[in-house]
Structure 1
Amino acid sequence: MNKTIKRAGPPLLLLAPSILLIGVFVYGLIGANFRTSLTDGNTAAQATGQQPSATVWFENYFTLLGSEAFQHSLKNLFLYTAVFLAGTMIMGFLWAWMLDKPIRGEGIFRSVYLFPMAVSFVASGVVWRWLLNSNQGESASGLNRLFQMMGLDFLQNNWWNNVSVGIVAIAVPAIWQLSGYVMALFLAGFRGIPDELREAARMDGATEWKLYRYVLFPQLSPIALSALIIIGHMSLKAFDLIMSISKPANYQTKVPAVDMYVFKSSFEYANAAAVGSILLVIVALVIVPYLIRTNRKEH
């Protein structure tokens, strides 16, 4: 027992600063946020400590989840996440599949596909705000103007100004920006598969489709899962791209992160904290099962 403690002593001392910082600035602040969400601190005076705030327990959560506006935000969030995940996974996988086969100028294609990832969401949002302009007819601009010039007027629409599915238009630039990252993950997976597996499958008479279907694709399942988790949790926290395109915050495209910003700007810190806690739970529902699965595999 004493030997075990002595062996664990130096590593623990080495990790102690990191553990302390994470404990205070991550878990400590999560606890403080949750505590705030259980109060009625929804005025400037209460937020600045000029008036004491009372504990109302989960009343803020019930009010939020029962409001039509917040339900609309949650619906937008899940719709955005579904379209974003499907688009990035499909586009990223197809690009990686094409680049897996020897082609000329592969390095140029890789750079072109990865370039959007180097652009911030705010910068790309400003450009896509113009591209997704809802004006039609003589005042059309952006994509609507392009469709008009090509004689495809039936494709013109009001993009993110659509109340029901406007958030889907916001997912388009997000797919453009991050599908290259998914491509890089899948391409690394393809290149990590030993050539011996490919040769063995071909010697057994497997066609090119069967080679991919039964040998290569199953090898990529861990890559696909990792990509889903990484992209999924990014979509759940979407804020900057949405605000860059549809600022000021619009009902059509608002998500919980936008609600949290609006509440905080109005000094409704308890409601903002409640939204943050709800987002934390949603992200945890995605991340925790993945961490448990990974931990079990390692042991």
Structure 2
Amino acid sequence: MEPKILPPLQSGSSLAVSAKKRRKRNADHLLSFVFILPSILAVGVFVYGFIAWSGYVSLSNWNSLVPDLSFAGFKNYIFLFKDFRFQADLRNTLFFTVFFILSVLVMGLLLAVFLDQKIRGEGLFRNIFFFPMALSFVVTGVIWQWLLNPATGVNLFLKKLGMDSLWYTSVKIVPGVEWGKIQFGVPVAVVAVVIAAAWQMTGFSVAMYLAGLRAIPEEIREAARMDGASEFQIYRKIIFPIVAPITVSVIIIMAHISLKIFDLIYAMTGPGANFVTDVPGVYMFETTFRGNYYANGAAISIIMLVTVAIFIVPYLISSRKGES
């Protein structure tokens, strides 16, 4: 048998140094925890605590100025899904989300490809495309409300040309298919809100796509050209599949914005006639702070939270798995 080689014994000084390092490391960990403790408490109280409180209120009978926290079950949720206004809100949110995301994706990708050609004045164009993102949705809503108002802006110019355009305030639903008590179709007035929202947020997708395009090595394109691929084939078969993860990220972020949209619509159109531009955020605000129906408002907020979580949580889980 070969003799076992035992590790050398640590001297007293080595043990003291190791113990000192451990104490220092523990002290650093404790100090780090102390620094982040206020943030943990703030998030715990003002985010998760208030979410839990809203969930509890949504199951109560508190629909007046006088608090009534007696348990009501899912009565408030049942009322909402039978309510004409909330049904219209869901319809508007669906079409706003679809057209908003499509507009941001298509315009962002086209403008990013345009900037990727290394054109002259690229810096100026980047600033023009990114500038709307520096504005708040309230400012954007006021600007586009003025531009699209029938008495001012673009519509006034069209009216002088004999082209009376009232689509901004239209209550028309296209194609207007009846589904129960609600018309199922695209509210024409929602198009105006989509234009304003896409104008502001397209710069984000431009930045994302441009970063992805610039990260693709030029050697890949040169190799494809040497193999006889056209520019269209290079983009369709090589570049677009490479930037597909960016597309997923943009979709998730834009869906999160569209599902909880409030300030843009409230500043631009409000709920609109027959609720053609109403969304759950506007309904929740008016129900809670103007009608004093706190339980109904809390139920709307929980529904909005769940719809956003349906998009965000799977994305976060897949991102964590990809990192690991």
Give your verdict on TM over 0.5: yes
TM-score by length of 1: 0.88
1:246 corresponds to: 269
1:218 corresponds to: 241
1:75 corresponds to: 91
1:87 corresponds to: 103
* Structure 1 residue corresponding to 2:224, chosen from 201, 222, 239: 201
User: In the TM superposition, what whole-angstrom CA distance separates every residue of 1:106-148 from its partner, at most 9, and x where no partner exists?
Assistant: 1111111111111221112112112222x3xxxx532222223
- Measure how far apart 1:94 and its partner are: 0.6
How many residue pairs match? The answer is 284
- Measure how far apart 1:91 and its partner are: 0.7
CA RMSD of aligned residues (A): 2.2
1:98 corresponds to: 114
* Structure 2 residue corresponding to 1:237, chosen from 260, 279, 292: 260
Larger radius of gyration: 2
Within the alignment, does 1:158 sit opposite 2:167 as a pair?
yes
2:8 corresponds to: none
Name the CA shift for 1:110/1:150 in 2 (closer, same or farther; >3 Å): farther
2:323 corresponds to: 298
Within the alignment, does 1:118 sit opposite 2:134 as a pair?
yes
2:59 corresponds to: 38
8 Å contact kept, 1:70–1:256: yes
Name the CA shift for 1:13/1:107 in 2 (closer, same or farther; >3 Å): same
Q: How does 1:279-290 map to 2 (within 5 A)?
A: 279-290=304-315
Name the CA shift for 1:268/1:78 in 2 (closer, same or farther; >3 Å): same
Distance 1:160 1:292 in 2: 42
Distance 1:222 1:297 in 2: 12
* Structure 2 residue corresponding to 1:183, chosen from 188, 206, 215: 206
Identity of aligned residues (%): 42
8 Å contact kept, 2:271–2:278: no
More helix by share: 1
Gaps of 5+ in 1: 47-51
2:285 corresponds to: 261
Give the partner amino acid of 1:183: V
- Measure how far apart 1:249 and its partner are: 6.0
TM-score by length of 2: 0.81
- Measure how far apart 1:184 and its partner are: 1.0
More strand by share: 2
Name the CA shift for 1:249/1:29 in 2 (closer, same or farther; >3 Å): farther
1:49 corresponds to: none
1:271 corresponds to: 296
Within the alignment, does 1:23 sit opposite 2:47 as a pair?
no
1:148 corresponds to: 159
* Structure 1 residue corresponding to 2:195, chosen from 156, 167, 172: 172
Higher mean Cα deviation, 217-226 or 6-15? 6-15
2:125 corresponds to: 109
Distance 2:231 2:86 in 1: 49
- Measure how far apart 1:206 and its partner are: 1.9
Gaps of 5+ in 2: 1-21, 174-186
- Measure how far apart 1:192 and its partner are: 1.1
Distance 2:270 2:84 in 1: 21
8 Å contact kept, 1:79–1:168: no
* Structure 2 residue corresponding to 1:57, chosen from 73, 87, 108: 73
SS of residue in 2 equivalent to 1:107: helix
Distance 1:114 1:32 in 2: 38
SS of residue in 2 equivalent to 1:42: coil
Name the CA shift for 1:125/1:63 in 2 (closer, same or farther; >3 Å): same
Distance 1:7 1:223 in 2: 41
Distance 1:184 1:149 in 2: 38
Distance 1:37 1:98 in 2: 49
SS of residue in 2 equivalent to 1:291: helix
- Measure how far apart 1:245 and its partner are: 1.2
Distance 1:168 1:44 in 2: 37
Distance 2:29 2:201 in 1: 43
